[in-house]
C-alpha cells in the first residue's frame, strides 16, 4: 500500500536525521541526570514524575513541534506537487503516513528512554522511604505523556499546514502554547494543562486498577490517617513536655495542589479530542488548497 511505503520511507528518513539522533542522546543524558540527582531524595512516584517533566513541560515539546511542522511546510510542501502528479499517491495518504511516522518516532524515543529508567526506579533498593506505585499508574502515565506528545506533533502539523512557513509556525505555537498552559495551570486543569498534568502524575502512579482496593487497605484514607498520626504525636509530645513538631512542608512542585479527584478518562478525552481535531483540520486544509 502507498501509505505503508510512505510510512516506512519517512521512518528511515527520520532515523537518519541529526535532529532525531541528537534528541535521542540529549533525552537519555537528561533522564540519567535527573535520575542520579534525585536518586536519594525523591520517593518513587515523585522521581518518575520528575523524569517526565521535560516531555510534558520543557524542553522536549520543541522537538515534537519541529518534527510535526516539517513535512507540510517550506520547501517540502513545494516539492509535493510533482510527487502527487507523478506517483499514485493521494494527499490523504501522504499526510497520514507523514503524521504517523513522526508520532511513532517521538513516542518511540520517549518510551525507549523512559521505560528502562522507570523499571530501575521501581525495582531498585534506594535510600528513601518505600512507596508503592501500581502497574495501572505506570501504564496510565506512559499513555498520557505519549498522548500529549502526539498532540504537540499534531498541533505542529496543523500550523505548518496553515502557515506554510516552519519557523513562523514554531514561533506562533510557542507563544500560544505557554500562556495558555499557564492560564489553565492556574485552575489546576490537568485535563488540558501539561504543567498540572505533570503535578498530577504522582497521584496517577499510586492509583490501583480498582479504587476499592485502596479503601479496603486503608479505610481511613490517606488524609485521615495522617491527621490521626499527627494528633497522636501531639498528645505524646504534650505528655512528655516536648514542643510539638511543625506540620510537614508541602512547597515542592509536585505537592502544590491536591489531585485526589484525578480521572484518567477525563485526561484522555482532554488531550485526545484536540489531537483528532488538529489532524482533521490539517487534512482538510492541506487537501483543499492549491500546491
Task: Write the pLDDT tens digit of every residue in 43-66.
Answer: 899 999 999 999 998 889 899 999
Q: Omega into 221 within 30° of 0, i.e. cis?
A: no
Asked if 144 contacts 271 with a C-beta cutoff of 8 angstroms, the reply is yes
Find cell 499546514 and name the residue. Answer: 161
In the DSSP assignment, the letter for residue 253 is: G
**What pLDDT digit, counting tens, does each position of 225-246 carry?**
444 345 445 445 555 666 555 5
**3-state DSSP assignment of residue 9:** helix
Tell me the mean pLDDT in the region 84-101: 75
Answer yes or no: is pLDDT of 260 > 50.
yes
Query: What's the confidence (pLDDT) of residue 288?
Result: 76
| Residues sharing a CB contact under 8 Å with residue 27, sequence separation 6 or more, in sequence order | 54, 60, 109, 110, 113
**Where residue 165 falls among pLDDT bands split at 50, 70, 90?**
confident
Collapsing DSSP states into helix, strand and coil, what is residue 117? helix
Compute the distance between CA of residue 107 and CA of residue 132 in angstroms, rounded to an integer.
26
pTM summary value: 0.82
The contacts of residue 287 (CB under 8 Å, 6+ apart) are: 91, 92, 95
Check pLDDT > 50 for residue 223: no
Between 75 and 191, where is the model more confident?
191
C-alpha cell at 143: 499513555
Residue 143 makes CB contacts below 8 A (sequence gap 6+) with 268
Could you give the count of Cα atoms lying within 13 Å of 177 in the half-sphere of its Cβ? 23
Amino acid at each position: 500500500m502507498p501509505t505503508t511505503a510512505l510510512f516506512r520511507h519517512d521512518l528511515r528518513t527520520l532515523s537518519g536525521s541529526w535532529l532525531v539522533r541528537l534528541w535521542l542522546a540529549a533525552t537519555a543524558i537528561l533522564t540519567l541526570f535527573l535520575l542520579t540527582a534525585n536518586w536519594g531524595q525523591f520517593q518513587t512516584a515523585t522521581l518518575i514524575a520528575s523524569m517526565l517533566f521535560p516531555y510534558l513541560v520543557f524542553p522536549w515539546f520543541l522537538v515534537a513541534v519541529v518534527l510535526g511542522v516539517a513535512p507540510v511546510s517550506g520547501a517540502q510542501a513545494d516539492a509535493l506537487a510533482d510527487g502527487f502528479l507523478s506517483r499514485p499517491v493521494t494527499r490523504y495518504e501522504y499526510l497520514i503516513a507523514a503524521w504517523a511516522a513522526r508520532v511513532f518516532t517521538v513516542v518511540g524515543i520517549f518510551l525507549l528512554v523512559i521505560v528502562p529508567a522507570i523499571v530501575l526506579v521501581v525495582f531498585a533498593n534506594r535510600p528513601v522511604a518505600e512507596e508503592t506505585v501500581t502497574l495501572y499508574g505506570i501504564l496510565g502515565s506512559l499513555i498520557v505523556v505519549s498522548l500529549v506528545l502526539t498532540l504537540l506533533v499534531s498541533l505542529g502539523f496543523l500550523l505548518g499546514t496553515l502557515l506554510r512557513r516552519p519557523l513562523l509556525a514554531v514561533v506562533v505555537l510557542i507563544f500560544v502554547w505557554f500562556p495558555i498552559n499557564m492560564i489553565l495551570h492556574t485552575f489546576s486543569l490537568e485535563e488540558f494543562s501539561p504543567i498540572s498534568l505533570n503535578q498530577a502524575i504522582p497521584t496517577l502512579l499510586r492509583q490501583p486498577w480498582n479504587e476499592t482496593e485502596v479503601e479496603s487497605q486503608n479505610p481511613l484514607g490517606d488524609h485521615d490517617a495522617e491527621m490521626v498520626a499527627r494528633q497522636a504525636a501531639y498528645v505524646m509530645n504534650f505528655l512528655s513536655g516536648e514542643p510539638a513538631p511543625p506540620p510537614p512542608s508541602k512547597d515542592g512542585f509536585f505537592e502544590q495542589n491536591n489531585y485526589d479527584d484525578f480521572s484518567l478518562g477525563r485526561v484522555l478525552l482532554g488531550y485526545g479530542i484536540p489531537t483528532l481535531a488538529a489532524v482533521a483540520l490539517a487534512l482538510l486544509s492541506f487537501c483543499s488548497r492549491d500546491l
